[in-house]
Structure 1
Amino acid sequence: MRASSLWGLWSTEATLVVDSDAERLPRGIRDVDDLRDAAVEIADRELALVDAAVSRFRGDSEINRIASDLPRGVSISALLTEYVGAALDAARLTEGAVDPTLGRHLSALGYDRDIALILDDDDRPVRAVATDVAGWQRVELRGRGLRVPADRALDLGATAKALAADRVAATIAARLDCSVLLSLGGDVSTAGPEPRDGWHVRVQDLPDEPA
């Protein structure tokens, strides 16, 4: 049995699919539609926590509330620690091609609010190009202690959706004992036992291009 849900999230789309046999449904879950609804509730709750921790576009997010203290060093939440750690791992693995310290540069170029609000005259997203030297190697993350140089600002957007997809899919699978596929704007993660017919993911850039 399989059911899915699609909703708008972070100026993109979230797609959640759950799959389970009737005999595996958790107590209190009557059918696969109930299972889907329970999974969406978990996803909404978990993704709200992520947004409150890492969003560069919310004044009340943790990453913005601590920004003025970062040059001196500050203790951060376990959730934000995980997301900063993942961003720094990505920087190391890509030798700086993915740099989570370009927040100030992106804001200076106009990317200072949600991408849906930043459109040029042709209704296309503004393209921002930063050419400064990467600064991720100057970030210090020791346990839950974080220090970022005063001339840098964190932007975790390059890795946050992917990590969120992994975390939320795993959480749903563990709590509801089902198979889960979650896509957050194209960052796709699966968790739980593989469905009998597997997962089939369509990959396509534009509607009129090959898929």
Structure 2
Amino acid sequence: MCTAVGLIEGDDVTYGTLRCEQDFFKTGLYVGEMAGAVPHGGGTMAWENGWTYTGDWRSGSRHGRGELIGGLSIYRGDFADDRFNGQGTEITTDGQTYTGTFVDGSRSGPGVLTWAVGSSSQEPLTGAVRLEGEFSMQGATRGVLTWADGRTFEGTFEGLSPMPVQGTLTDAEGARYVEFDRDRWEFVEVAPPPPPAPTPPPPCGG
């Protein structure tokens, strides 16, 4: 719910200041274009909890392109119905940067996750600098992980960390099919999965 503080009426757009009450963000002060007494068009909202959003609005919701700063991250990209939706970049205070697809506020689809040098300290991610692949609401699912020393791992992942599960590790010993053993906290070599069975030829007609 918003209350007008100051308005400038134009031929096609109303510009001014609103004071808005929202459940999560609490009280916010909006400056920009509006329709009726809600943000609509381009504008900036600054909330009393320190969060700010600058960008496009539609009928009171963040919708279009914009930048949201607050909590532990900065997001720049597409919004729909107040959520990250589409293409965008999220930068977190722990040194991670994700650029890719978002769906309903979560990383989902193709994307690239990078770490600032020295920010990835949990094994086996110590020294990791880049992960390119597919992401879901639960984290990365499949992709290629690269370390600063040149090692690569191509395979499956789980969790938000994200933790390698099984795939091909290429290092000074060459390419090896491995899985990450969480009891030993290291990669161990395992037998690769069997190749898929050949597709049988279609039956002959006649």
Superposition TM-score tier, normalisation by shorter sequence: under 0.3
Normalized per residue, which structure has more strand? Answer: 2
User: What is the TM-score with the length of structure 1 in the denominator?
Assistant: 0.21
Normalized per residue, which structure has more helix? Answer: 1
User: What is the TM-score with the length of structure 2 in the denominator?
Assistant: 0.21
